Amino acid sequence: MRTVREVRAPGASSRPGVRLRLAGMPPTLRPTRSPVAARRRFLRAALAASLATSIASAACAGDIPITSASLSIEDDELLLAAEFEVDLTPALEQALEKGVPLYFTMDFELLRPRVMWFPDKIATWSITYRVSYSPLTRQYRVSSGPLGQTFESLGDVERFIGHVASRPVAPTSDVTKGVQYEAAVRMKLDVNQLPKPFQVNALASREWQLSSDWYRFGFTP
Protein backbone atom coordinates (compact mmCIF):
# COMPACT_ATOMS: atom_id res chain seq x y z
CA MET A 1 0.00 0.00 0.00
CA ARG A 2 1.42 3.36 -1.05
CA THR A 3 1.82 5.94 1.71
CA VAL A 4 1.93 9.69 1.27
CA ARG A 5 4.08 11.88 3.41
CA GLU A 6 3.39 15.56 3.98
CA VAL A 7 6.33 17.89 4.44
CA ARG A 8 6.40 21.47 5.55
CA ALA A 9 8.16 24.12 3.52
CA PRO A 10 10.97 25.93 5.26
CA GLY A 11 9.56 28.88 7.16
CA ALA A 12 5.98 27.79 6.52
CA SER A 13 3.34 28.37 9.11
CA SER A 14 2.67 25.58 11.56
CA ARG A 15 -1.06 26.04 11.13
CA PRO A 16 -2.91 23.07 9.68
CA GLY A 17 -3.56 23.28 6.01
CA VAL A 18 -0.36 25.08 5.02
CA ARG A 19 1.45 22.08 3.51
CA LEU A 20 3.29 20.94 0.41
CA ARG A 21 2.22 17.68 -1.17
CA LEU A 22 4.65 15.24 -2.71
CA ALA A 23 4.88 14.77 -6.45
CA GLY A 24 2.23 12.58 -7.82
CA MET A 25 -0.50 14.02 -5.65
CA PRO A 26 -3.24 16.17 -7.31
CA PRO A 27 -2.81 19.90 -6.53
CA THR A 28 -5.13 21.45 -4.01
CA LEU A 29 -7.89 23.29 -5.83
CA ARG A 30 -8.61 26.85 -4.82
CA PRO A 31 -12.19 27.34 -3.66
CA THR A 32 -14.35 28.82 -6.43
CA ARG A 33 -16.96 31.50 -5.87
CA SER A 34 -20.50 30.27 -6.00
CA PRO A 35 -22.38 31.40 -9.17
CA VAL A 36 -25.43 32.00 -7.00
CA ALA A 37 -23.50 34.32 -4.68
CA ALA A 38 -22.02 36.19 -7.65
CA ARG A 39 -25.48 36.63 -9.13
CA ARG A 40 -26.78 37.96 -5.82
CA ARG A 41 -23.93 40.50 -5.64
CA PHE A 42 -24.68 41.58 -9.20
CA LEU A 43 -28.39 42.00 -8.47
CA ARG A 44 -27.65 44.02 -5.32
CA ALA A 45 -25.33 46.32 -7.27
CA ALA A 46 -27.89 46.72 -10.08
CA LEU A 47 -30.63 47.49 -7.58
CA ALA A 48 -28.46 50.10 -5.83
CA ALA A 49 -27.67 51.74 -9.19
CA SER A 50 -31.35 51.73 -10.14
CA LEU A 51 -32.37 53.33 -6.86
CA ALA A 52 -29.66 55.99 -7.24
CA THR A 53 -30.88 56.78 -10.74
CA SER A 54 -34.49 56.98 -9.58
CA ILE A 55 -33.58 59.32 -6.74
CA ALA A 56 -31.54 61.52 -9.08
CA SER A 57 -34.39 61.63 -11.61
CA ALA A 58 -36.90 62.54 -8.91
CA ALA A 59 -34.61 65.32 -7.71
CA CYS A 60 -34.31 66.73 -11.23
CA ALA A 61 -38.00 66.77 -12.07
CA GLY A 62 -41.25 68.05 -10.68
CA ASP A 63 -39.97 71.56 -9.75
CA ILE A 64 -43.12 73.06 -11.29
CA PRO A 65 -46.08 71.15 -9.84
CA ILE A 66 -49.21 70.86 -11.99
CA THR A 67 -52.40 71.00 -9.96
CA SER A 68 -54.91 70.44 -12.75
CA ALA A 69 -55.36 70.09 -16.50
CA SER A 70 -58.37 69.44 -18.75
CA LEU A 71 -59.70 69.75 -22.29
CA SER A 72 -63.01 71.11 -23.49
CA ILE A 73 -64.64 71.73 -26.88
CA GLU A 74 -65.92 75.08 -28.04
CA ASP A 75 -66.44 76.52 -31.53
CA ASP A 76 -64.84 73.52 -33.26
CA GLU A 77 -61.65 73.81 -31.19
CA LEU A 78 -60.07 71.87 -28.37
CA LEU A 79 -59.39 74.24 -25.47
CA LEU A 80 -56.76 73.55 -22.83
CA ALA A 81 -57.03 74.64 -19.19
CA ALA A 82 -54.16 74.00 -16.76
CA GLU A 83 -52.68 75.30 -13.54
CA PHE A 84 -48.91 75.29 -12.83
CA GLU A 85 -47.31 76.43 -9.58
CA VAL A 86 -44.34 78.40 -10.92
CA ASP A 87 -41.82 79.49 -8.28
CA LEU A 88 -38.51 80.93 -9.46
CA THR A 89 -35.35 80.07 -7.54
CA PRO A 90 -33.20 82.84 -5.99
CA ALA A 91 -30.60 82.35 -8.73
CA LEU A 92 -33.21 82.90 -11.45
CA GLU A 93 -34.57 85.97 -9.67
CA GLN A 94 -31.06 87.47 -9.50
CA ALA A 95 -30.51 86.73 -13.17
CA LEU A 96 -33.70 88.59 -14.06
CA GLU A 97 -32.67 91.58 -11.96
CA LYS A 98 -29.33 91.66 -13.82
CA GLY A 99 -31.10 91.87 -17.17
CA VAL A 100 -31.01 88.19 -18.21
CA PRO A 101 -34.32 87.17 -19.85
CA LEU A 102 -35.82 83.78 -19.02
CA TYR A 103 -37.79 81.62 -21.43
CA PHE A 104 -40.52 79.25 -20.26
CA THR A 105 -41.98 76.76 -22.74
CA MET A 106 -45.28 74.94 -22.32
CA ASP A 107 -45.78 71.79 -24.39
CA PHE A 108 -49.01 69.92 -25.12
CA GLU A 109 -49.63 66.69 -27.00
CA LEU A 110 -52.69 64.59 -27.75
CA LEU A 111 -52.26 60.84 -28.27
CA ARG A 112 -54.54 58.02 -29.31
CA PRO A 113 -53.56 54.72 -27.64
CA ARG A 114 -53.17 51.71 -29.93
CA VAL A 115 -53.19 48.04 -28.90
CA MET A 116 -49.76 46.37 -29.14
CA TRP A 117 -48.22 49.46 -30.72
CA PHE A 118 -46.97 52.94 -29.92
CA PRO A 119 -49.63 55.64 -29.41
CA ASP A 120 -50.61 57.69 -32.43
CA LYS A 121 -49.71 61.37 -31.95
CA ILE A 122 -52.79 63.34 -33.00
CA ALA A 123 -51.79 66.92 -32.21
CA THR A 124 -48.98 68.95 -30.64
CA TRP A 125 -48.87 72.54 -29.46
CA SER A 126 -46.40 74.73 -27.60
CA ILE A 127 -45.95 78.30 -26.46
CA THR A 128 -42.88 80.13 -25.13
CA TYR A 129 -42.99 83.04 -22.69
CA ARG A 130 -40.10 85.48 -22.54
CA VAL A 131 -39.79 86.97 -19.04
CA SER A 132 -37.64 90.07 -18.56
CA TYR A 133 -37.11 92.82 -15.98
CA SER A 134 -36.42 96.52 -16.46
CA PRO A 135 -34.41 98.13 -13.59
CA LEU A 136 -35.38 101.56 -14.95
CA THR A 137 -39.13 101.08 -14.59
CA ARG A 138 -38.88 98.28 -12.00
CA GLN A 139 -41.38 96.29 -13.97
CA TYR A 140 -41.47 92.77 -15.34
CA ARG A 141 -42.56 91.99 -18.88
CA VAL A 142 -43.92 88.74 -20.26
CA SER A 143 -44.10 88.41 -24.02
CA SER A 144 -45.05 85.70 -26.48
CA GLY A 145 -44.28 86.64 -30.05
CA PRO A 146 -45.27 90.25 -30.71
CA LEU A 147 -47.68 90.39 -27.74
CA GLY A 148 -46.56 91.40 -24.27
CA GLN A 149 -47.80 92.47 -20.86
CA THR A 150 -46.13 94.24 -17.92
CA PHE A 151 -46.36 93.33 -14.24
CA GLU A 152 -45.41 95.07 -11.03
CA SER A 153 -44.24 91.98 -9.11
CA LEU A 154 -42.60 88.65 -9.80
CA GLY A 155 -45.47 86.87 -8.10
CA ASP A 156 -47.86 88.28 -10.71
CA VAL A 157 -45.55 86.98 -13.45
CA GLU A 158 -45.46 83.48 -11.95
CA ARG A 159 -49.24 83.35 -11.67
CA PHE A 160 -49.69 84.61 -15.21
CA ILE A 161 -47.48 82.06 -16.95
CA GLY A 162 -48.77 79.28 -14.69
CA HIS A 163 -52.44 79.90 -15.50
CA VAL A 164 -53.80 78.50 -18.76
CA ALA A 165 -57.45 79.17 -19.57
CA SER A 166 -59.31 78.24 -22.76
CA ARG A 167 -56.16 78.00 -24.86
CA PRO A 168 -56.88 76.54 -28.36
CA VAL A 169 -54.56 73.59 -28.97
CA ALA A 170 -56.17 71.66 -31.87
CA PRO A 171 -59.23 71.66 -34.13
CA THR A 172 -62.00 69.22 -33.29
CA SER A 173 -61.57 67.72 -36.76
CA ASP A 174 -58.43 66.01 -35.40
CA VAL A 175 -60.44 63.83 -33.02
CA THR A 176 -63.27 61.31 -33.35
CA LYS A 177 -66.30 61.44 -31.11
CA GLY A 178 -66.49 58.61 -28.59
CA VAL A 179 -62.81 57.64 -28.93
CA GLN A 180 -60.65 57.79 -25.82
CA TYR A 181 -57.47 59.89 -26.06
CA GLU A 182 -54.58 60.68 -23.75
CA ALA A 183 -53.51 64.30 -23.34
CA ALA A 184 -50.28 65.51 -21.75
CA VAL A 185 -48.92 68.91 -20.78
CA ARG A 186 -45.72 70.18 -19.20
CA MET A 187 -43.72 73.38 -18.60
CA LYS A 188 -39.97 73.95 -18.42
CA LEU A 189 -37.36 76.67 -18.32
CA ASP A 190 -35.68 76.56 -21.72
CA VAL A 191 -32.00 76.77 -20.76
CA ASN A 192 -30.96 76.55 -24.43
CA GLN A 193 -32.14 80.13 -24.92
CA LEU A 194 -30.02 81.48 -22.06
CA PRO A 195 -26.74 83.29 -22.80
CA LYS A 196 -23.83 80.84 -23.10
CA PRO A 197 -22.25 81.50 -19.65
CA PHE A 198 -25.61 80.91 -17.98
CA GLN A 199 -26.13 77.67 -19.91
CA VAL A 200 -23.01 76.38 -18.15
CA ASN A 201 -24.53 77.40 -14.81
CA ALA A 202 -27.72 75.56 -15.75
CA LEU A 203 -25.76 72.35 -16.24
CA ALA A 204 -23.88 72.69 -12.96
CA SER A 205 -26.50 74.05 -10.56
CA ARG A 206 -29.95 72.81 -9.57
CA GLU A 207 -31.05 76.43 -9.05
CA TRP A 208 -30.93 76.90 -12.81
CA GLN A 209 -33.12 73.90 -13.58
CA LEU A 210 -36.86 74.35 -13.46
CA SER A 211 -39.35 71.98 -15.08
CA SER A 212 -42.42 69.86 -14.55
CA ASP A 213 -43.08 66.23 -15.35
CA TRP A 214 -45.51 65.38 -18.13
CA TYR A 215 -49.00 65.60 -16.65
CA ARG A 216 -51.20 63.03 -18.41
CA PHE A 217 -54.98 62.80 -18.37
CA GLY A 218 -57.71 61.12 -20.36
CA PHE A 219 -60.04 62.85 -22.79
CA THR A 220 -63.06 61.56 -24.72
CA PRO A 221 -64.84 64.01 -27.07
Say what the pLDDT of residue 41 is. 59
Residue 159 lies in a domain: yes
Q: Is the pTM of this model over 0.85?
A: no
Residue 12 lies in a domain: no
pLDDT per residue as tens digits for the range 130-141 = 999 999 999 999
Say what the pLDDT of residue 36 is. 55
Containing structural domain, residue 153: 64-219
Write down how long the chain is: 221
Residue 162 lies in a domain: yes
Residue 161 lies in a domain: yes
Least trusted range by pLDDT, from 84-98, 175-189, 193-207: 193-207
CA pair distance 51, 13, nearest whole angstrom: 46
Which is more confident, 122 or 24?
122
Residue 16 lies in a domain: no
Residue 96 lies in a domain: yes
DSSP for residue 132: E
∠ CA 186-190-194 to the nearest 5 degrees?
165
Q: Which of 159, 149, 163 is nearest to 106 (CA)?
A: 163
- Structural domain count, the chain: 1
Residue 157 lies in a domain: yes
Residue 215 lies in a domain: yes
Which is more confident, 199 or 29?
199
152 pLDDT above the threshold of 80: yes
Say what the pLDDT of residue 66 is. 96
Say what the pLDDT of residue 46 is. 44
Supply the CATH number for residue 90's domain: 2.60.40
